[in-house]
Amino acid sequence: MKTILIVDDDPFYLEIFAEVMARERLPTIVKTATSGDEAKGIMREGQVDLLASDASRPGENVLDLVRWVKANYPTVPIILAKGL
């Protein structure tokens, strides 16, 4: 089973995305974070197979998270999208 980590500052979008994934019954675990620091903590706790992040979160430089992931988990693919 694959694990996807979704990062967005809006909990509403995180909830909707997780619900859609569950409804589709994909063999996937969806984890969510509302900040880069929270995302890093989740990644430290266990395996993440894909990181999808809102590219523009207020007060955060998303590229800092991308650099951290690439330095610590270089095989994890990253998807950046404006307004996940």
* Domain containing residue 11: CATH number: 3.40.50.2300
| Whole-Å CA distances, 74 to 6, 9, 48 | 17, 24, 11
Confidence of residue 83 (pLDDT cuts 50, 70, 90): low
pTM (two decimals): 0.87
CB atoms within 10 A of CB 36: 22
Q: Is the pLDDT of residue 7 over 90?
A: yes
More confident site: 83 or 27: 27
Segment 26-41 mean pLDDT: 91
Q: How confident is the model at residue 49 (pLDDT cuts 50, 70, 90)?
A: very high
Enclosing domain of residue 66: 2-81
Q: What is the mean pLDDT of residues 39-44?
A: 96
